Structure 1
Amino acid sequence: MAALTEAGAPKAAAARRPAGGGAGPRWRDRDGWWAAFFLAPQVLALTLFLIGPLIFAIVLAFMKWDGLGEKEWVGFDNFAAQLTDPEFGLAVWNTIKLMVLTVPIGLSLAILIAVGLNSVKGSAFYRILYFMPVVTSSVAIAVIWQVILASDENGVLNNTLRDWFGVQGPDWLLDTGWVIVAIAVVTIWSSLGLNVVIFLAGLQTIPPQVVEAARIDGAGGFRIFRSVTLPLLSPTIFFSTVVAVISSLQAFDLIYVLVDPGDNEGAQTIVYRVWDLGFGEFEFGMSSAAALLLLVLTLVVTLVQFAAQKRFVHYDS
């Protein structure tokens, strides 16, 4: 019996070994090489088109360069020039006004529409209708709204105000005081569908038994919305708020086509200022400094939002 045990032990040990002796580690090494092979294009593209330009922009922010001549190191002069530049200050103010107008109004409308669609049969059709502007080119949206907001006889909105209410509407796209309102309306309209779909997904995660329990306790529709729906929807609201704030701070393409910010200072945003410094005035150092200031502003606003979420965002334990 002892002989059989001793003879069988080496066979059992051999059976537990991977086939081919040391083939196991070699296969693992080969898997690592295949993983590197498939990841290499993504890592290369990320380095060339994101990490590389970011590092170059950071270095360029401390230099004076017109895009062709020699680069001159100027330290923090570009940042000081932007922080004291009235045009950059105006761009920051216009961007903040756009954010204040679009984020709360747009998200509030999206929540109300999502709550309404959540109880409607065949809501998929309405989701498609609301989502169509999201997948439409921003250039096409801007051209359509140029016709709607035009101040001449072809302006749809002003003609409607004059014919139905006897009111002469302002020059929406040229009046410095009204242009940011016009941009906010177009921005809210174009992004409403995305927020509606996101809130609909959040509403469908709310347990129906919680709503039913509140209804049994005598809560009405508004009380259920305020005390049940909104608290349970708060993580989705927080996510949408962060995304909407970042999008408003980076607004450019829709504004650039809808209005000519070069002729209307009320439409000049931070990103337009970055573009104008670089490709209008060929001050790429200044442009990079303005872009980094926008990055810092975005980070600060986002960190404030994350710090404030502890007070109103309720996550399921």
Structure 2
Amino acid sequence: MKLVNVSMIKEGEKEQPAKQNKIKGQRHGRTAFWFLLPNLSGFLVFTLTPILAVFVLSLFEWSLIAEPKFVGLRNYIYLFTSDSNFIRVLLNTIFFTIVYLTLNLLVSLTFAAWLNQKIKGIAVYRAILFLPVLVPPVAIALIWQFMYEPSVGLINHLMEAIGLSAVNWLGNEDYAMFALIIMCVWQQFGYNMLIFLAALKGIPQTILEAASIDGAKPLTKFFKISIPSISPAILFAMVMTLITSFQIFDQVFILTNGGPGYATEVLGLYIYKNAFEWFQMGYGAALAVVLFVIILIVTLIQLILQKKWVHYETK
């Protein structure tokens, strides 16, 4: 009996810390839940609920004045079969996204590599390059609208000063989209620049020093060591920049309002016009759902393809 009692006591002593850890874990879980509850509540009320409402609204015909009328998939059928402007707007959006994404990443990476060197006053340069990100997009668009002005704009004056002819940047269909892209890259590249700069500073110097001892040149080290090492940061920047470029609205609304003609009409602006200018809320919601699906598919493709070129550090 004594032996049994001793064994039972030992088993009880082993179970007691496990129960305490379980209770402690439950307590920490409840604490974490209460801390997350305000954010989760905001997400449910201001993000998830509107998303679900858009899906439901896309099945209705509603002019904001009359009662909503259920039409099923009619808005989607009209979108893909009868709306001649949708394809053009979609192509404009894809063109803007590809060119803007490419230039943004290239400019960001170039400045990040430059700032990663030992330069006097590096903090000042970093602040100046990042400053446009902090300025509201509406203010940026108004300033660049004046800079693009054909007769008194700063850009045309600079072009004429170096012997080039003035260009009607915002009034010519051949230049308007590029004018929009240049402005957006100038405004937004600082965000990705800081991401790349932080990633570059995280590369162990011993690896770069070993490559230098082996005779590797700076460009070789950059493309063979630095780029693969910061590939996770590049993936993050690509995904986030792609999502924001597909959703662009305020810059193009202020700068060109989609003009001239449909030269700079993008999906975000087209959704706004259908919903709030032409009072076709159901059709605007259907366009928003299509945009959501496009962004989701492209993002998933990026996440699948990243296995081939993104190198994660393994310990």
Structure 1 residues 78-125: Cα deviation after superposition (integer angstroms, max 9, x where no partner) = 112112312121111111111111111111111111111101333221
Unpaired runs of 5+ in structure 1?
7-12, 18-24
Provide the residue aligned with 2:137 in structure 1: 138
Q: Say if 2:184 is the partner of 1:187.
A: yes
Q: What letter corresponds to residue 114 of structure 1 in structure 2?
A: A
SS at match of 2:263: helix
Provide the residue aligned with 2:113 in structure 1: 115
Provide the residue aligned with 2:74 in structure 1: 77
Match of residue 161, structure 2, among 150, 163, 183? 163
Conserved 8 A contact 2:129-2:190 = yes
Q: Classify 1:39/1:99 alpha carbon distance in 2 versus 1 (closer, same or farther; 3 Å).
A: closer
Provide the residue aligned with 2:301 in structure 1: 304
Distance 2:222 2:313 in 1: 18
Q: Say if 2:101 is the partner of 1:90.
A: no
Q: What letter corresponds to residue 185 of structure 1 in structure 2?
A: I
Provide the residue aligned with 2:171 in structure 1: 174
Q: Say if 2:126 is the partner of 1:127.
A: yes
Match of residue 263, structure 2, among 256, 261, 266? 266
Match of residue 315, structure 1, among 289, 307, 312? 312
Distance 1:55 1:183 in 2: 32
1:186-205 mapped onto 2 (5 Å cutoff): 186-205=183-202
SS at match of 1:267: coil
Provide the residue aligned with 1:58 in structure 2: 55
Aligned residue pairs total 305
Structure 1 residues 146-201: Cα deviation after superposition (integer angstroms, max 9, x where no partner) = 1211112x111112212321x22321112112111001000110011111111100
Conserved 8 A contact 1:91-1:273 = yes
Q: What letter corresponds to residue 105 of structure 2 in structure 1?
A: L
1:229-308 mapped onto 2 (5 Å cutoff): 229-261=226-258, 264-308=261-305
Provide the residue aligned with 2:19 in structure 1: none
Query: Greater shift after overlay, 192-201 or 25-34?
Result: 25-34
Conserved 8 A contact 2:130-2:190 = yes
Q: Say if 2:210 is the partner of 1:213.
A: yes
Q: What letter corresponds to residue 183 of structure 1 in structure 2?
A: L
Conserved 8 A contact 2:172-2:260 = no
Q: Classify 1:37/1:192 alpha carbon distance in 2 versus 1 (closer, same or farther; 3 Å).
A: closer
Q: Classify 1:88/1:38 alpha carbon distance in 2 versus 1 (closer, same or farther; 3 Å).
A: same
Task: Give the alignment's TM-score, normalised by structure 1.
Answer: 0.87
Query: Runs (4+) of structure 1 moved beyond 3 Å?
Result: 25-44
User: In angstroms, what is the RMSD of aligned CA positions?
Assistant: 2.9
Q: What letter corresponds to residue 112 of structure 1 in structure 2?
A: T
Larger radius of gyration: 1
Distance 2:104 2:35 in 1: 41
Provide the residue aligned with 2:224 in structure 1: 227
1:217 Cα shift?
0.6
Conserved 8 A contact 1:131-1:193 = yes
Structure 1 residues 1-21: Cα deviation after superposition (integer angstroms, max 9, x where no partner) = x9xxx9xxxxxx9xxx9xxxx
1:264 Cα shift?
3.4
Structure 1 residues 199-235: Cα deviation after superposition (integer angstroms, max 9, x where no partner) = 1000011111111111111111111111111111111
Task: Give the alignment's TM-score, normalised by structure 2.
Answer: 0.87
Conserved 8 A contact 1:174-1:264 = no
Q: What letter corresponds to residue 310 of structure 1 in structure 2?
A: K
SS at match of 2:105: helix
Conserved 8 A contact 2:150-2:156 = yes
Percent identity over the alignment is: 31
Q: Classify 1:80/1:113 alpha carbon distance in 2 versus 1 (closer, same or farther; 3 Å).
A: same
